[in-house]
Amino acid sequence: MSMLKDPSMKEIILDFCAEADMLFDELQDSLEILEENPANTKELEKFGQVIDRIMGAAKSIGASEVATFCELGKVIGYKSSQIKELPLIEVVTAILFDSLDLLRKMVTAIRLGNDSGMKNLNTKAFVTRLTWLSAKFKDIDRASVAIEGTPQNSIDELLQSLGL
Q: What is the CATH number of the domain that holds 113?
A: 1.20.120.160
Q: Is residue 113 pLDDT above 70, yes or no? A: yes
Structure confidence at residue 76 (pLDDT): 85
Q: Is residue 145 pLDDT above 80, yes or no? A: no
- Give the integer Cα–Cα distance in Å for 145 and 120: 28
Question: Between 28 and 1, where is the model more confident?
Answer: 28
Domain-embedded: residue 80: yes
Domain-embedded: residue 164: no
What does the mean pLDDT of the chain come to?
81
Structure letter (DSSP) for residue 145: G
Domain-embedded: residue 122: yes
Cβ-based neighbour number of residue 125 at 10 Å: 9
By residue range, what is the domain housing residue 85?
7-159
Q: For a pLDDT cut of 70, what percent of the chain falls above it?
A: 76
Instruction: Tell me the mean pLDDT in the region 134-147.
Output: 60
Structure confidence at residue 79 (pLDDT): 85
The model's pTM is 0.80
Q: Looking at the 3D structure of the chain, how many domains does it have?
A: 1
